[in-house]
Every structure is written in structure tokens, then in C-alpha cells.
Homo-oligomer: A and B are copies of this chain.
Amino acid sequence: MDLTYSTKHQELQAEIRAFIEAEGHRSPKFGGGRNRPDQQALDWQGLLLERGYFARTVPTEYGGHGAEPDVLETAIIADEFSRAGISPGLLDVGNLIVVPSLLDLGSEAQCARWVRPTLTGETIWCIGNSEPGSGSDMANAQTKAVAVGDDFVINGQKIWTSGAHYADMMFLLCRTEAEAPKHKGLSYLLVPMDTDGIEVRPLVTMTERPEFNETFLTDVRVPMDQIVMGRGDGWKVAIASLKHERVMLGDPNKQLQRLHGIREMMRETVIDGVAVMDLPEYRDRLLRLQAEVLAAKFHNMRLLTLHDRGEEPGIPGLIQKLYGTTLNHKLSALAIDVLGEAGLPYEPHEFGENDPATAWQIDYMYDIGLIIGGGTSQIQKNIISERGLGMPREPKAVVPPARS
């Protein structure tokens, strides 16, 4: 354990503080809506890339900063931005899932083509994993891509394609090998969203916010070299990308920010003349969650270190999504309880900074969506027990028929 700041780290910290002091006012609001980044966000992203505060370890030839991995640097950057309430850059699925997946498994040409514009925000991605019939059972994807000449011709339907209505590209899981067994017939394709035959329909969720879509693909043609790895390698890519998704969903910085937000709210909210922070039955809950959030934060630093060392994270990596999404939900639940009756007015379409009620209610529901999405908690527990603890897989069973 070496968390003492070397001169290098002290300098980085000072540098970032100076940067925030000088440029922070140009940052877009952090935690704003999930829309296509506007010009301010793109400019800010450009600035962060220029300074190396984003994509710090991505090779320079792909538009990154090319730095050696350093968990303390990562932590310093995240801490300083978080403390100042400044946007840390575009944390979209392109940057959090597609870029690391391509760097891991994509061809050099694919990295050269797609990483840089994704970093800059020029190219926005959506993920085409889930289908109506295969939520938890992702390997059951039925969207078909048939080789015709030099193209794949794709037909099928995707669900939960968040951002598909403004994305440029889709990272698409589909079945290219019709005859192969379930897990062997899959491939990932990189599909431009302006290709003919793609229709995006909004999918209304319990939050009422237009974040998700259903995407229908009808005779969509993409060149065959738009495949990641080889034909039938899709399950390998899926495993890698799901790992990145788990990391994204378990992100502890978000939890830290929430914790701070709740703390402030507890100081400001008054019930019968007493600040909620001074009511021990609430305060004790806040402290419980603080311990869980800190555990998540340090756990994440440990994972980054394992990653930097090139060690397989094993169990610590497998639990991150389950732990993080569960914790998120506990945090928003406390926030709602603090708000009480004043937390009920709900304006999901035009809520702003002064409407914590709507913001927290959205989180509270969206958090359930995240518990469900990307592999439900039940799937996560299967994974932890089977891959992490070596317990037997669910035995093959006689299929009980669906009730009519």
C-alpha cells in the first residue's frame, strides 16, 4: 500500500487545482441530462483530453494521453473534479464500454478508426445487447446477421438501446453463425446508425424520461470488416464488455457525490424545527451508508491497482456491479426519506437544480433499472457463486411449461 503522494502526484494535484480554478467555469453542469453532448460539453471534453485528464492511459496514437497506469493519479483526478463539482468528461457508453472493449479486443484499424472520435465526443455510441426475449439470457440473442457478398445483412430487434435516438454507432450483438451452438454463434458488429433499415422507437420507462429505445433492424447492411474479433467470437467480446459495464455501473464516484448531496440535504431539511442531520435515526443511516460508499471507493482503487499490475481481479471484480447498484439504491432511498412529503412533486421532463425531489425520485427508480439491467442481481449472484466461488452451475433441468 503506497498512497503517499510523490512529488509527481503533488504536482498533478496542484496542476489540476490550478486548472479548475482557471477553467472550471467552462465546465458543463455535472450530472445533467443524458442527451447528446452540446458544444459546451464538447469543448470541455477537448480541453480535458488536451490536458490528459481524460483517457489518460489511452495510447496517444488513438487520441489519449498515453500515460502509464497509476491508481493514485486516477484517484487524484476523480477526487479533485468531484470535490469541485466539475464534469470529469464524457462518461458515456462509448467511452466506458466500447473504447476499452476495442482496446482490449478490436483490430488496430478499428482502434485507429473509432477510439479518437469517441474520446472527443464526435462519435456517440449505443449498445445493442438486450432483446425482448433475452434479457438476462444475453447469449440467447436472436438478431441475425447473414453474410451476403462482402456484407452482413442484419435483421432483428434490440431493446434498452439507451441513446439510440441520437447515437452515431451501435455496438451490436447478433447471431452470425446460424448452425453453431448458442454461445458459439454470436458476433459483435459496429453499425452506423444512419444505415438504411434502422428504426428507433422510444421506450417509455417508469421514470417517464426518454432515455431508452427499442431499435428495429430490417435488412441492415454493414461491411464484413465491421466485425470485432472473428465470426463466432461474440461471446468473448460480450464477457469483456460486460466486465466494463459492471465497472461502469459500480462507479463509486457517483456514490460519493450522492453521499455529499444527502449530507447537505440533511443539514438543510427541517422537520418540526430540527435539522434532519440532528435526528439520530436518520444520521445513523447516513453513517452506515458512508461506510459502504467508502468501502466501494477503496475497493475500486484496489481493482485499478490489480488492473495496473496485470493481475486478474477475480472475485473483487465480479461483485462490483451487484454491490454498487444495491448501494446506489440504498442512497436514493435515504434521500427520499429525508425529503418526506416534500419529495413527492415530480417533474421529470424539465427538472432543474432546485428540484431535488424529482432528481432523487428518478434516481430511486433508475437505480432499480440498473439493478435489473446489465444482468439482474440474480444473474450477478449466479456469476459470483459459479465463477467466483466455483459452485456448480444451474443444473440442466426438465423444462416446466409456461403457464397460459
Q: Which residues of A contact B (CB under 8 A)?
A: 279-281, 283-284, 392, 395-400
Contact = CB atoms under 8 A, between A and B. Distances in A.
Nearest to A392: B400
Nearest to A393: B400
14 contacts: A279-B280, A280-B280, A280-B281, A281-B281, A281-B283, A281-B284, A392-B400, A395-B397, A395-B398, A395-B399, A395-B400, A396-B397, A396-B398, A397-B397
Contacts of A392: 400
A392 B398 CA distance: 11
A61 B162 CA distance: 74
A271 to B, nearest CB: 13
Nearest to A395: B397
Contacts of A279: 280
A280 B395 CA distance: 48
The 9 closest A-B pairs by CB, nearest first: A395-B397, A281-B284, A392-B400, A280-B280, A280-B281, A395-B398, A397-B397, A396-B398, A281-B281
A272 to B, nearest CB: 14
A392 B399 CA distance: 10
Nearest to A284: B281
A283 B280 CA distance: 10
A224 to B, nearest CB: 40
A241 to B, nearest CB: 30
A387 to B, nearest CB: 16
Contacts of A396: 397-398
A352 B392 CA distance: 47
A401 to B, nearest CB: 9
A299 B202 CA distance: 46
Nearest to A400: B392
A143 B114 CA distance: 70
A269 B284 CA distance: 20
Contacts of A395: 397-400
Contacts of A397: 395-397
A400 B393 CA distance: 9
Nearest to A279: B280
Contacts of A280: 279-281
Residue of A279, A283, A395 ringed by the most chain B CB atoms within 10 A: A395
A395 B397 CA distance: 6
A395 B399 CA distance: 8
Contacts of A400: 392, 395
A348 to B, nearest CB: 32
Contacts of A399: 395
Nearest to A401: B392
